[in-house]
Structure 1
Amino acid sequence: MASQNALSSTNFYTIAWIAALPIERAAAEAMLDEEHVAPTDFTRHQTDENVYTWGRMGEHNIVIASLASGVYGTTSAATTASSLLTSLPSIRVGLLVGIGGGIARPDEGHDIRLGDIVVSQPCGTTGGVCQYGLFKAKSGGKLERKGFLGRPPTVLLNALSSIQSYHERKDSKVPGLLQEILKKNPKMGKRSKQNPGYAHQGFDNDLLFKASFDHIPSPDYRGYNRAEEVQRDDRDTTDPNIHYGTIASGNTLVKDATTRDRIVANLGEDFICFEIEAAGLMNHFPCLVIRGICDYADSHKNDQ
């Protein structure tokens, strides 16, 4: 990654990229084609405690911020975005990028795998993100929606349309970009007990189990009954597929398949992913939410 002197003004930065975890921020910074120092006219607002990375990605100048270490969820995300906007009023486009729990239902057309990408897209009655805590229980087990989250800016939805059209004609550029990142940052491709690495974990480590099957404390599930595994068609490549739809967001981290399926059934939305930050942003910092699938929102999470 090349670096250069500071740009003269914060007005050249109109895109803000927010990550929750340090590993997510590291991936974002690795994507930069060029890293900048802070613009010469940058004046931090007295209430802004964010730490920023400045740079260029393609033709766009981007500023990257992350949540305070160890402090996650919708409130922390809202604080990060609010502080950013006080210091950088020129920001027009927001991206929330990181990892999330995939809601894989291969028999219903959602063949989501580890390493795939999910992108928030307005669907039905949602703007692409639905807060699963904003509902009131009604008689008969029904739920009534008590609030709504905004949708991404139109410019980003138009960009989505363009990307989807491109992928109808040509392959995604993502695999090539990932290879380039690992070439420029060799450490990110190395695996150890302390560092699972940023490369694909291998098909043997991508197992989807039935919701009724609880985690067995074993690194490789030796001895489990194969009848508990959801059988899926083989893929001929580890390149990630991209899925568009509704992302479920709330302050409760979902790590249980029974809870996962109950939330999806109760809310009646066609969710494709769970995460815990986006709901804090959408009404105050309209953004596109992009998540890489790291688990299936169940008890079998594998950090590889």
Structure 2
Amino acid sequence: MPNRKDYTIGWISAIECEYIAGKAFLDAEHPIPDDLPVNDNNVYTLGEIGKHNVVIATLPSGQYGISSATAVVKDMLHSFPNIRIGLMVGVGGGAPLYLPDADEQDIRLGDIVVSKPIDGQSGVIQYDFGKNIQNQEFKLTGFLNQPPPLLLAAITGLSSQYAMNLHGNGLNGCIDSVLDKYPGLKKDYQRPDLVSDKLYRAQVTHPAHATTGASCATLCGDDPSKLVQRPERPEAGTP
């Protein structure tokens, strides 16, 4: 039976699909300890990734936001007192920016994005930490705290390793292994086909009351004049 004090990484997922993906990437899953506090409202998946013992929890169904996440973290830290690092891992939303002379800005569907501090800011902006003023640029009014030094050092290490690795970062192989292990996940969790990754120009407005399940090509059209033309990447899936 695992000891609750042996777990050092806390992993929070906001929605079910993020939780499923996290569980699928565990190298091994551990049984739930019998001595969890009775007032802990979380449901956990325990396991290991590499040499790290990981605790994964998700927000209650249909409940999102800071207050729900805070409650989950509070119970997790009480039940697993030696957690050293907390991670919020999941699906990100954002606006892709394509600049022909700046390939590092070219975000595609299925990319994994890791933010880092720059110019004294944390690298993660809370959605309500800013304001729009007519005819002016978006004004940032606050940002979240920076990650701990250990994680910032890890980012530098991973970045240098990727730069020196002529065979890519190995993510595609890891994802393929997981999908082979859980073939039922392929339909909804494999990387989208490249032909579906269309970047519409900012002037194209997606209908507010779209039919459920309808594609952007159906709703907005696939006229080339509405799309930002982007060249294929040298290797599919390479950031």
Query: What interval of TM-score do these two structures reach, taking the shorter chain for normalisation?
Result: 0.7 to 0.9
Corresponding residue of 2:148 = 153
2-structure distance, mates of 1:156, 1:240: 23
Residue correspondence of structure 1 range 260-299 to structure 2 within 5 A: none
1:249-284, CA deviations, whole angstroms, 9 ceiling, x for partnerless residues? xxxxxxxxxxxxxxxxxxxxxxxxxxxxxxxxxxxx
Corresponding residue of 1:213 = 204
Corresponding residue of 2:28 = 34
Supply the AA of the counterpart residue of 1:36.
Answer: H
Residue correspondence of structure 1 range 128-277 to structure 2 within 5 A: 128-135=123-130, 141=136, 146-170=141-165, 171-189=168-186, 191=187, 197-215=188-206, 218-219=214-215, 221=217, 223-241=221-239
The match for 1:119 among 98, 114, 118 is 114
1:168-219, CA deviations, whole angstroms, 9 ceiling, x for partnerless residues? 1112021111011011111111x3xxxxx11122111110001110226652
Q: Compare 139-148 and 164-173 and name the one that shifted more.
A: 139-148
Supply the AA of the counterpart residue of 2:47.
Answer: G
Give TM-score scaled by structure 1 length.
Answer: 0.68
Corresponding residue of 1:95 = 87
Q: Compare 28-37 and 221-230 and name the one that shifted more.
A: 221-230
| Contact 1:130–1:148 (Cα < 8 Å) also in 2 | yes
2-structure distance, mates of 1:139, 1:174: 43
Question: Is residue 16 of structure 1 aligned with residue 25 of structure 2?
Answer: no
2-structure distance, mates of 1:75, 1:200: 32
2-structure distance, mates of 1:69, 1:25: 11
Percent same amino acid at aligned positions? Answer: 37
Q: CA deviation at 1:11?
A: 1.6
Q: CA deviation at 1:39?
A: 3.5
The match for 2:19 among 25, 37, 41 is 25
Q: CA deviation at 1:64?
A: 0.3
2-structure distance, mates of 1:103, 1:142: 16
Aligned residue pairs, count: 227
User: Structure 1 residues 200 and 145 mapped into 2: Cα distance closer, same or farther (>3 Å)?
Assistant: closer
User: Structure 1 residues 145 and 230 mapped into 2: Cα distance closer, same or farther (>3 Å)?
Assistant: closer
Q: Specify which structure has the bigger relative contact order, considering alpha-carbon pairs within 8 angstroms and separated by 6 or more residues.
A: 1
1:216-243, CA deviations, whole angstroms, 9 ceiling, x for partnerless residues? 66526155321010111112433252xx
2-structure distance, mates of 1:106, 1:143: 19
Q: Compare 180-189 and 212-221 and name the one that shifted more.
A: 212-221
Q: Which consecutive unaligned segments of at least 5 residues does structure 2 have?
A: none
Question: Is residue 74 of structure 1 aligned with residue 66 of structure 2?
Answer: yes
Residue correspondence of structure 1 range 36-55 to structure 2 within 5 A: 36-39=30-33, 42-44=35-37, 46=39, 48-55=40-47
More strand per residue: 1
| Contact 2:18–2:91 (Cα < 8 Å) also in 1 | yes
1:26-48, CA deviations, whole angstroms, 9 ceiling, x for partnerless residues? 110000111001245x43262x3
Corresponding residue of 1:263 = none
